Amino acid sequence: MTKLKFYRNFWKLNRPEINTDYYDLNKDGQLVVNEGNYQYNLYELTKKFGTPLEIAFPFVIEKRLRELMLLFNRWLKNYHYKGKFIYHYPMKVNQNKEFVLPIISEGGNLEVTSANELWLVKRLWEQGQFNTKIRVICNGPKTNQYLSLISELRDKGLQITPIIESLDEITSIGGFRGELGIRLDPDVKIRAHWDKRVTRFGLSAAEIFSLGRVRNLKLLHYHTSTQIEYQEDMIKPLKKAMEVYVKLRKTNSSLDMIDIGGGFPVPHEKIPLFSAESVIKRVIRTIQKACDRAEVPHPDILCEWGSYLVAPAQTTIYSIISEKTIAHATAKKWYIIDGSFMNDLKDTWAIHQKWHVVPVNYASSLKMTRTWLAGLSCDSDDKYANGGKYILLPRSEELENGERLRIAVLDTGAYQDALASHHCLLSSPTKIIIQNGVITVARKRETPEEVGREFGW
Ligand SMILES: Cc1ncc(COP(=O)(O)O)c(C=O)c1O
């Protein structure tokens, strides 16, 4: 095995099953990203734009959505399933334009959760930027502002479906003149970060049945959790939802869609969990069997896998600016980054998210050390210790001419941007977008004036 091949395997690059298929190393041990025959040297980009640096890859989103649609459509056909597959992107996962527009251009639809997200949809709609066939699902608590925007867009011709999420919304949304959805709380225990056995979202099966016929009911929706790490846990709630669906369909003939929500996991620790194809096959068969048994037509299948689509489409790069010896721990060194986990990658702190960390330079270095990573804020919680294990990175003695080690945190495209903050008034990373060989700056590094302004200075 060549040295380069060894390190490519060591850092788990170029492996589609863990979403690193477009990452590779060049002969100098620098991290590169391939978009077809375009190649971007991430090390050179950090030299040009500085660190911390967020890099978004819209082409990754486009490819993933195309493949998802292909897989669903292939298996619908193979199983002679009568309904369609419809993808809805949950905007909450990443509302940045460079994430949403590629999805729309590939034929994706949207799911929104607030009046402000819907307002963005309204703007695109009014600018005539949508195919009139696009569908929008509205989840989340319905404030008056949200409700009036839903009605306004419906009156303007958008295919918009508000989802009833609680009993009181029966009154506030019940009079809506368009199609309606209803959210089920499947009440099944699954193994994910959140135990959704007790959830405030959705109606119980009994509550739904107590409603009898709901005018214009089109869709039954559920969403149990994000980052569901066992395949069985993606199917269990669906089985429960299908029990409700077939019964509900008997009293509601307009019902013809089942929405399986989000939750497909990102292998952040780079251990392959299960394939999308295996889940897709089971999803289709589960719905088909339940309907055939109950002699109910096959519904269209809606899916809101958000992280699955967009997490791999962004990486966040930091420089190591100093180090400190750790006396008694599994790790030997603190490596201090020039950004903040607590600010830029908030889930590190909030839900102890694990990440795949790869050197951007010196990735084929022979000597490595066990590290914990610390953020630049003065907060002792601003760190990433890989769940108390360690992160293996090149030793600083390996670096030539006082050069800094740069590290890439992969799969940062889901949730982190909207959760980001300014603890210790640190500036957010510069952000660039890479597509078709063109590099665009989406966000410059904030100046002290700009950060101060956000705090009323
Ligand atoms: C209703 C709904 N759909 C979809 C998603 C996306 O989930 P994920 O990113 O795990 O696919 C969420 C996330 O919380 C959600 O609340």
Q: Write the pLDDT tens digit of every residue in 158-171.
A: 999 999 999 999 88
- Amino acid 338: pLDDT: 97
Residue 196 has pLDDT above 60, yes or no: no
The ligand 1 atom at the shortest distance from the C-alpha of residue 415 is 9
Query: Is the pLDDT assigned to residue 402 strictly greater than 90?
Result: no
| Alpha-carbon gap, residue 348 to 337, rounded angstroms | 14
The average confidence (pLDDT) of the chain is 94
DSSP letter at 17 equals G
- 196 alpha carbon – ligand 1 mean position (Å): 13
Pocket test for ligand 1, best of 164, 194, 226, 283 (most atoms within 8 A of CB): 226
Residue 128 clears pLDDT 90, i.e. is over it: no
Residue 368 — very low, low, confident or very high, per pLDDT cuts 50/70/90?
very high
Which residue, chain included where needed, has tokens 């990658």? 345
Identify the pLDDT of residue 195. 59
283 confidence band (pLDDT: 50, 70, 90): very high
Q: Give which of 162, 243, 176 is closest to 208, Cα–Cα.
A: 243
pTM (2 decimals)?
0.96
359 lines ligand 1 (CB under 6 A): no
The single-letter code of the amino acid at 357 is: V
Model confidence over 315-362: pLDDT tens digits? 999 999 999 999 989 999 999 999 999 999 999 999 999 999 999 999
Which of 365, 373, 362, 358 lies closest to 408, judged by CA?
358
Q: Is 425 left (phi over 0), alpha (psi -120 to 50) or beta?
A: left
User: Quick check: CB of 411 below 6 Å from ligand 1?
Assistant: no
Q: In the chain, what percentage of residues exceed pLDDT 90?
A: 87
Q: Quick check: CB of 55 below 6 Å from ligand 1? A: no
Mean pLDDT throughout 266-295?
94
**What's residue 176's pLDDT?**
86
Q: Is 226 in the pocket of ligand 1 (CB under 6 A)?
A: yes
Domains and CATH numbers, the chain: 3-58+313-454 (2.40.37.10), 81-305 (3.20.20.10)
What mean pLDDT do residues 223-251 have? 95
200: pLDDT strictly greater than 90: no
Q: Using most ligand atoms within 8 A of CB, pick from 92, 136, 194, 412 the residue to mutate for ligand 1.
A: 92
**Interval 246-258: pLDDT, tens:** 999 999 999 999 9
Q: Residue 194: which pLDDT band, with cuts at 50, 70 and 90?
A: low
Q: Is 93 in the pocket of ligand 1 (CB under 6 A)?
A: yes
Amino acid 457 reads W
What residue owns the CA closest to ligand 1's atom 16?
223
| Backbone dihedral angles phi then psi of residue 235, each to the nearest 5 degrees | -95, -35
Arithmetic mean of pLDDT, 384-389: 93
Q: How far apart are CA 412 and CA 306, in angstroms?
A: 13
pLDDT mean over 111-128: 94
Mutation test residue for ligand 1: of 223, 259, 307, 419, the one with most atoms within 8 Å of CB: 223
Instruction: Please check the confidence at residue 307 and state whether its pLDDT lies above 70.
Output: yes
